[in-house]
Chains A and B, each alone.
Chain A
Amino acid sequence: MLDGVIFTWRDLPDVLVTEHRLDRHLFTPNEQSDRQYRFLHEQSPRLIPVWLDGQLKIAFWGSSEPPLPRQGTARHESVERGVWGNLRPIETVVPCPFAIAGGRTYQTKEGIKCLIVRDRQKRPHAYVLSEPSSPYYFTMTRRDRMPVFVAEEFGKA
C-alpha cells in the first residue's frame, strides 16, 4: 500500500533530526536537488514523522510488540466499524510532500492521514489509513490499496 514517505531537509526541525538520529534516513537524489529524509516501511526501526500535539514528532511506524498491530497500516473500513476503538486511536496527519508505493515516488498535496496509538510506555505508534485504490492510483502503483489523503486527489475507487 505504502512503502515509504519522503520529507525534504527543510521540513524536519534540527532538534528532531538530532534527537532521533535521523541522519541515517538522509538521501540525496542528485547534485542539484535538495537532500531528503526517507522513511521506509522496511527500515528498522520503522519511524515516521507525524503531526502530534501541535508539532512534528517522530512515531514508530506500526509496532514490533503485541498487543499493537505490527503492520503500519489501518484499513479505513475497519476504523469505521470501530475495530480500533479499544486502542483509543487519535487521527492525525503525516505531512509528507512525497510518498513511495510500488517503487513509484509521487507527490501528495497535503500529506496522508494516519492513526496514532500509544503503547504502555505512552510512546506513539502510527498507522497509515488506507482505502481501496482509485483506478488512477492502481495504474500508477499497481497497489490495490492507497493511503487516505488529506486533500482530495487521485479520485476514489
Chain B
Amino acid sequence: MPPSLIAHVDADCFYVSAERVRSPELRGLSVGVLGNQGACVIAKSYEAKACGVKTGMPIWDAVKLSPNAIYIQRDFEWYETLSRQMLACVREVSPTVEYYSIDEFFFDATWLQSSHKGDPLQAAKSLQETMRRVTGVPVSVGIAPTRTLAKLASDANKPYGCEAITSSGHIAKRLAGMPVEEVTGIAGRRARRLRAVGITTCDQFVAADRKLIRELLTVKGEELWYELQGIAVQKILTSRPMHKHVARGGSLGRGAGTRLDLHAWVYRNLERLVDTLQCYGYVCKTLGLDISYQDHPGRYAQSTLCVTTNVTEVLGPAVSELFERCYVAGELGRYMQVVAGGLEPQGREQRSLFDNGRPQMDAIRHLVNDKCGRFAVRSGATLPLTHVYSDPSQQHDICDVAGKTCF
C-alpha cells in the first residue's frame, strides 16, 4: 500500500551551503563552486544567481557578471559527509527513505505528520529546523500525496521554504499556471511535444486526456499525469536498483597528447571503475572504452571478457587491449569513458573452470588505501598523471557517492 503522504527534502544551493558550513565568512557573499578543471561553475549561491550566473557557465563569463564573487574548488568528500548526515536526520523521522541524490531525499511522511498533531506543515518545519541545527545546511521541504507533487512543492518554495499539499484544492492551486517544464521528467523534447498540442502549464497537463498524454509522452508521461492528479504511482526506492552499466571517465582537462598520458587516463578510470564494481558488488561480462579526440573522430571498442569478473588482473589487460584499438597517434584526447556491461551480482556469476585462485592485487590496494588514502597505491601506468593525483579535489567525484537512486 503506498504511503498517504510523501515528503521531498532538497538542500538549498547545496555545494555552496556545504562550503558555508565550514567557512562562515562566505555567508552573504556571491559564491561559485568550480568543477574539477576550474573552468566551469557547477553550483552558485543565490547572490551569484541574482547577478545572472548560471550553472555550467564558464568562469570567465561568470566573473563578468559577478566580479566580486568568490570561486571555490569543489570537494565532494565533504559534500558526501554532510549528505550522509542529512540522510541520517531524515531516517530519524521515517523508516522508508530514498537517497535520491547527494542533496535530495524522498520519504514516507505518514508517520511524520502524526508526530505533530496531524499537521504536516508543522512537521515539515520541524524537520527543516532539525536539519539546519544538526548539519548547518538549509533545506526546503515539500509534502504531498505523490513524489512529483512533493518535489514541485519543495522546488517552488526555495530557499528555506515549506509546503504541504494535502487537498485536491491545494493541488489545483499549486499547478495553476506553473510551466510544465517545472515537472521533473518533462523537459526539452517532451515539453515541445506538449506545446504542439497547446499544453504549456501543469493545470493544462492534468486537464488533458490521459490517453493523449500517453500517446505523446509514453507510459512515463502517463505516470506523471497520475502523479500530478495526486495518485501515487512512483514508489519510494529504499535501495538503489541494479545498474545496467557502470562507467567511469570524463573530461581529460587540457587533454592528453601522448600515448603514455592517454594510457594513464585509461588506467586511472579503470581503477575507479573497479572500485565502483566492488563497492556495489557487481561483476561484469563486457568492457568498453570510448575516447574522444579534439581533431579526429572518436573511437569506441568493446570486448567480451573470458570470465565474468571485477578484478584488475583481468580487466587491466582487457582495457589495454581496447586502448590499442582506440588510440590514434598524434591526436589530442579530450574525453573518455571506461564502461562495464553485462553486470551481475557478485557471487552468482559462472566461475571459470581455469580459476587460478583469488586475485590479490585489489585486496592489497584496498588494504593500503583504506588507511593511507584513496590512490595512495595505484597502478604504475598512472604515473604521468601526478598533477591529477596531487589535487585533493580529484580524489572523490559525485559518482563516487554510492547508493543514490538518481545520478
Contact = CB atoms under 8 A, between A and B. Distances in A.
Interface in A86-140: 97-98, 103-107, 134-140
Contact of B23 (A97, A138, A152): A97
Contact of A98 (B47, B70, B254, B391): B70
Given A140-B39, A155-B388, A105 B394 contact: no
A86 B361 CA distance: 52
A134 B68 contact: no
A107 B28 contact: no
Nearest to A151: B392
B382 to A, nearest CB: 14
Contacts of B390: 134, 152, 155-156
B308 to A, nearest CB: 37
Main secondary structure of the interface of B (DSSP, over half): mixed
Contact of A106 (B36, B71, B386, B387): B71
Interface residues of B, number: 33
Contacts of A8: 25
A140 B59 contact: yes
A34 B27 CA distance: 8
Interface stretch (A25-33, A56-64, A71-79): A25-33
A103 B63 contact: yes
B34 interface: yes
A34 B36 CA distance: 28
A105 B26 CA distance: 12
A51 interface: no
Nearest to A134: B387
Interface in B251-306: 253-254
Interface residues of A, number: 27
Contacts of B34: 140
B70 A155 contact: no
Contacts of B19: 107
A139 B28 contact: no
A32 B28 contact: yes
A10 B27 CA distance: 14
Nearest to A142: B60
A66 B36 CA distance: 42
B23 A107 contact: yes
A157 interface: yes
Interface in B26-40: 26-30, 34, 36-39
A136 B69 contact: no
A106 B68 CA distance: 10
A93 B19 CA distance: 23
Interface string A22-45: 000000011011100000000000
A56 to B, nearest CB: 16
Contacts of A105: 68-71
A33 B63 contact: no
5 nearest A-B residue pairs (beta carbon): A155-B391, A33-B28, A32-B28, A140-B38, A139-B38
